[in-house]
């Protein structure tokens, strides 16, 4: 890691389908300012990138810094990327095709910009700055509205020949299972992400099973609407019901954890990592019980030699995993090409 990348401020950006988060980081991982904006993808690619620039400038203003004070900007985006060229090949959540994100942003702000897939960067952040410190090979999995993942082997982020490595959520583990929004059946995401958890819960409630969730939702939102349950039931609602011992919710959440573990068992056999890091909104809300079930599923479905020394841990960086991973990407790239830190 270059000395410049540790001493000069770096901006990390997480560009998602609903929000943009930009932070200014100094030292190893100290976030000194942050700015959040709504993405508004319906306004188109150019407008969204304009909002990214506004978020960067907003974070710098809070930090009382100028753009010239920043060594570089790292940004995570939801989709397969060519990180060497700084190009996103497609971003369905944003409605984008191929976009030269790094070049466009660099031209607008006058600083080097490095691009990565969002969950790849979450994994990189956990390796360098979070739960994976001191480990060389990890798999990261993040369970929320969708399920994404990342792979680091021998300290190197594995992106694949076309930038799609680590798409854990799209692994098929049940050939005749629930249909995913990709059209494929039985993917980890279609079976274990939060919408799948909610669908199981609603089905049980409609079948006459008792749950505290409708009461919790009514108390907070004013009404319970099974047709809108996917937007009503957040991870925090699931956590409250889970911790209250709600059998319907526990069964659905535990099934999600076990199915995630089944997918990870295949990944462990394929890659034999030292550590699996499990994070995302659902995992943050439920906590240790979710991770324990994931670990049980991995150990029950892998060779003893594959899991004997394997560590299965909860992610440590929370919502900041993406932006800190973007900062980690910048540091790694500047260490490889230190001259870039002085290039506008």
Token representation of residue 260: 């995630």
- Dihedral of CA atoms 289, 291, 294, 295 in degrees, nearest 10, equals -110
Tell me the pLDDT tens digit for each residue of 61-119.
Answer: 999 999 999 999 999 999 889 999 999 998 887 889 999 999 999 999 999 999 999 99
pTM summary value: 0.90
What is the side-by-side order of every strand in the sheet holding 19-26?
30-38, 19-26, 10-15, 73-77, 113-117
Q: Which of 109, 39, 33, 130 is nearest to 76 (CA)?
A: 39
Q: What is the CA radius of gyration of the chain?
A: 20
Domains of the chain by start residue, with CATH: 3-124+320-342 (3.30.420.40), 133-316 (3.30.420.40)
Tell me the pLDDT tens digit for each residue of 170-227.
Answer: 999 988 878 877 788 899 999 999 999 999 999 999 999 999 999 999 999 888 988 8
Q: Does the structure show a pLDDT above 60 at 341?
A: no
pLDDT more than 70, % of the chain: 96
Q: What is the pLDDT of residue 340?
A: 61
Q: What is the pLDDT of residue 231?
A: 87
Q: Does the structure show a pLDDT above 50 at 297?
A: yes
């Amino acid at each position: 890691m270059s000395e410049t990348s540790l001493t000069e401020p770096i901006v990390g950006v997480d560009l998602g389908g609903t929000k943009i988060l930009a932070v200014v980081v100094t030292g190893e991982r100290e976030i000194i300012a942050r700015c959040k904006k709504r993405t508004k993808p319906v306004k188109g690619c150019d407008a969204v990138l304009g909002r990214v620039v506004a978020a960067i400038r907003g974070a710098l203003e809070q930090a009382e810094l100028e753009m010239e004070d920043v060594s570089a900007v790292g940004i995570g985006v939801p989709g397969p990327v060519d990180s060497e060229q700084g190009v996103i090949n497609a971003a369905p959540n944003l409605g984008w095709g191929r976009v030269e994100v790094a070049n466009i942003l660099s031209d607008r702000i006058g600083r080097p910009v490095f691009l990565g897939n969002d969950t790849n960067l979450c994994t990189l952040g956990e390796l360098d700055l979070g739960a994976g410190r001191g480990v060389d090979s990890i798999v990261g999995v993040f369970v929320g509205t969708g399920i994404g993942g990342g792979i680091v082997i021998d300290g190197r982020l594995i992106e694949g020949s076309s930038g799609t490595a680590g798409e854990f959520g799209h692994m098929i583990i049940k050939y005749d299972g629930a249909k995913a929004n990709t059209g494929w059946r039985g993917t980890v995401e279609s079976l274990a992400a939060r919408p799948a958890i909610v669908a199981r819960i609603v089905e049980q409630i409609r079948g006459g099973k008792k749950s505290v969730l409708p009461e919790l939702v009514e108390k907070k939102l004013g009404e319970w609407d099974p047709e809108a349950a996917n937007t009503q039931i957040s991870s925090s609602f699931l956590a409250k019901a889970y911790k209250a011992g709600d059998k319907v919710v526990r069964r659905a959440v535990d099934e999600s954890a076990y199915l995630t573990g089944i997918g990870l068992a295949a990944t462990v056999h394929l890659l034999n990592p030292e550590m699996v890091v499990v994070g995302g909104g659902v995992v943050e809300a439920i906590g240790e019980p979710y991770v324990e079930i994931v670990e049980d599923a991995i150990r029950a479905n892998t060779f003893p030699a594959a899991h004997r020394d394997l560590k299965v841990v909860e992610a440590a960086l929370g919502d900041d995993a993406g932006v800190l991973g973007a900062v980690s990407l910048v540091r790694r790239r500047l260490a490889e090409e230190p001259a870039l830190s002085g290039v506008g």
